[in-house]
Amino acid sequence: MKGIGRLGPIAALPMLVLGCIASFALPALADSDPNACRGVDFNVKRPLVASRISVRPHVNFVKATDWIGTWSHPGGTISIKRGDGGKLSIEGEHTYPAAQNVHTGVLGATVVPTQGTIAFAEDGGVPFDQAEEGQCLVRMQRVGRWLLVEDNMQCGGSMVTFTGLYRRD
């Protein structure tokens, strides 16, 4: 699998990275466990491997309604709507302008948030932790008023990634 990159210049928010809370500009918000982030180099690209990701239940309990809306990020949007049976319907589009053409990526899934996190593979029919090599993996988490999204760069064309911080329109 391809690696995931850093989330860019917005570094003042705490982020869940491979099961550890990293607070880059606000050390007071760092995880209470001083060993949680020991040895993690946040500048290195790492593959998004479902088996290495752990959900932190004390992080970000949100209601289903907190997810709903249209979320924007440079290059794309993610729309989250109420679905059937307590599920959420997610649709997203992202573009990456290349030298001679535009690469695109599309998300479409129906999921149930679990412990403040949305995590899915492909269309949501494949459990995140049972995804196969090359499948689109996406993880979302609310951080304050933002939507933090992380993918494995398998959700579209070359250089297309939904990874980043999104704001609600």
91-127 pLDDT per residue, tens: 999 999 988 899 999 999 999 998 889 999 999 998 8
| pTM exceeding 0.75 | no
Weakest-pLDDT range from 17-21, 33-37, 118-122, 152-156: 17-21
Q: Where are the domains of the chain?
A: 3-168
In the 8-state DSSP scheme, what is residue 53? -
Place of tokens 């391809």: 2
- Residue-wise DSSP of 64-106: GGGT-EEEEETTEEEEEEE-GGG-EEEEEEEEEE-SSSEEEEE
- Running DSSP on this structure, what letter comes out for residue 164? E
